[in-house]
Amino acid sequence: MKKIITALLCFTITTTAAQASIIKIGARAGAGLSYLNVATDSSAYKNLNLKSDLGYQVGAFGRFNLLLFHIQPEILLTGFGATYGPDKQATQLSFKKVDISALGGFSFLLGLVRCQIGPVGSFLLKAVKESKSIKNGYTPAALGYQAGFGVDLLDIAFDIRYTRNLTQFGTDNSNIGTNHGYGLLMFSIGVNLFKLL
């Protein structure tokens, strides 16, 4: 029992010390679910049979710690999509964008657990429907938010986050309505590559 307590104490001290650096810079990658929602009352779009699809994120982050509070800017390449229509004639939509966010949050449980929320600006790189570009039907930039929780174990960060647009994302002016947005639920792993101070 004493050995277990000693091991847990050493792990806690080591992990807490690892969180003590004021500035951290690292890389992050993740995957999860994405979906589109159509903001229209038109009956023509109520039976689209929209389905979630897989999404991914990869990029870099920085974290500035001040006691239990922190600010975490990130830049991530995000890919996501959705399908709609009858199963045998489903239409595939896919998007690629750059997300730049500034998350604020605080840590608890000896700095091991984080909660974060903040704005995110999204810049559309690519929008495709069945191998055809539909980028012109979408706004080049949108504003949204991210919120979630994370756990830090030494130099590894595990996160679960939800992202949603607040401003109009765009219109696929052929089939999918006049104002649709997106939501992303992502699970990611980050690695601290550099520490300062």
pLDDT tens digits for range 82-111: 887 776 777 788 899 999 999 999 988 877
> In this structure, which amino acid lies at residue 172?
D
Q: Are 24 and 63 in contact (CB under 8 A)?
A: yes
Report the half-sphere exposure of 168 (CA within 13 A, side-chain side).
11
The total of other beta-carbon atoms located within 10 Å of residue 78's CB is: 23
Report if pTM > 0.85: no
Phi, psi of 45 (to 5 degrees): -110, 5
Average pLDDT along the chain: 82
Rg of the chain taking only CA atoms, in angstroms: 20
For residue 37, what are its two tokens?
A: 């929602």
For residue 142, what are its two tokens?
A: 């949108």
pLDDT at 185 over 90: yes
For residue 107, what are its two tokens?
A: 């840590």
